Amino acid sequence: CQILDEKLTDSQLFMEFERIPKRREHALYECALLEENEPKNHDPNFLPYDDNRVRLTPSMENRHGYVNASYISATVGTKQRFYIVGQSPQKSQNMRIFWQCVWEADVYLVVQLTEDMSYIPLSSQQRLEFGQFQVYQEFSQTTDRCTTIKLRLYHVPSRRYRSVWYLQYADWAEQNCPSDVNHFLDFLEELNSVRLASSQEVPPGHNTNPPVLIHCLEGGGRSGVTLTADLLLYTLDHNEDLDIPRVIGQLRHQRDSIIPSLAQYKFIYSLLITYLKRTRLI
């Protein structure tokens, strides 16, 4: 903790941040840059690499099965964690694609980091339809930290459904950093509780370690903060070596521009220091 504190108050943090590669060398974005896929990118500065983009079943409206989302995996000790990081859907077509992504990628937990709830039913009486999918609300709870919703996602052609947990955290300040580090830690604690609950929804014979889908407007800033914080806290909890630049470098190797700003990088340090003090590990 003292080392983290010293770095946070020293100019060396800037140099450390600048040394982390911004993206994978020689990365290809050919599918993301196709003209027909431009409307599916809310922010063209944050795009998935070709080789680990989420590939959906092609359709007439989406010939390449494209969604602005990337598969991301990380190893902590002997454990692996899986994520999907992408952009929030801003148009009706992209909302259909979003729910197709949730269905086909076997997602049971979605984390939303924006205020827009237009693609989420806000009451148990409301049903939303997006192409082949219908979305119902089963349960909702809002605290001063976040909103937790349990949804039922119904796939009309197959007549099958899946329970999907949905977490929203929208308390962000300037430069896409959480407004309060303690509130954000509470949110991450809720995220882990819901992750455990959502894993109980996985039917026998399916992937018992499904990816968590994290999304924000650009799919890099707020999503990157949340993804990185979740991984590093998991690393601390399992007494593994903490190497922040290495972790962010590995994440950027899988998704362009994770933690794009120095302010967010500093926030990660502040969060870890606060967490260590809260859990009395110092």
Of 101, 146, 177, 216, the catalytic one is: 216
Q: Tell me, yes or no, if 146 is annotated catalytic.
A: no
Q: How far apart are CA 137 and CA 167, in angstroms?
A: 13
Distances 96 to 66, 214, 247 between C-alpha atoms, Å: 12, 17, 33
Average pLDDT, the chain: 92
pLDDT at position 187: 96
Tens-digit pLDDT profile for residues 216-250 = 999 999 999 999 999 999 999 998 989 999 999 99
Q: What structural domains and CATH numbers belong to the chain?
A: 25-227 (3.90.190.10)
pLDDT at position 202: 87
b/e map 232-267, b = 16+ CB within 10 Å: bbbbbeeeeeeebeebbbbbbbbbbbbbbbeebbbb
pLDDT band at 113 (very low <50, low <70, confident <90, very high): very high
Q: How far apart are CA 100 and CA 57, in angstroms?
A: 9
pLDDT at position 205: 82
Residues 164-167: contacts with CB under 8 Å, at least 24 apart: 164/102, 164/107, 164/108, 164/109, 164/110, 164/198, 165/108, 165/109, 165/110, 165/194, 165/197, 165/198, 165/201, 166/109, 166/110, 166/112, 166/120, 167/109, 167/110, 167/111, 167/112, 167/191, 167/194
Comparing CA positions, the residue from 272, 268, 261 lying closest to residue 20 is: 261
What is the rounded average pLDDT of the residues 12-36? Answer: 93
Q: Residue type at 240?
A: E
Tens-digit pLDDT profile for residues 176-202 = 899 999 999 999 999 999 999 999 888
pLDDT at position 102: 98
Q: How far apart are CA 42 and CA 143, in angstroms?
A: 29
Higher pLDDT, 281 or 151: 151
Whether the per-residue pLDDT at 281 is higher than 70: the answer is: no
User: By percentage, how much of the chain surpasses pLDDT 70?
Assistant: 95
What is the rounded average pLDDT of the residues 265-282? Answer: 87
pLDDT at position 6: 65
What is the rounded average pLDDT of the residues 255-273? Answer: 94
| Structure tokens that stand for 136 in this block | 């119902």
Range ranked top by mean pLDDT from 10-19, 58-67, 142-151: 58-67
What is the rounded average pLDDT of the residues 116-122? Answer: 91
Whether the per-residue pLDDT at 96 is higher than 70: the answer is: yes
Q: Residue type at 65?
A: G
Span of 78-87, 103-112, 139-148, 252-261 with lowest mean pLDDT: 139-148
Q: What is the DSSP string of 209-226?
A: SPPEEEEESSSSHHHHHH
The residue written with tokens 């609300």 in the block is 137
Which residues have CB under 8 Å from 123's CB, separation 6+? Answer: 137, 140
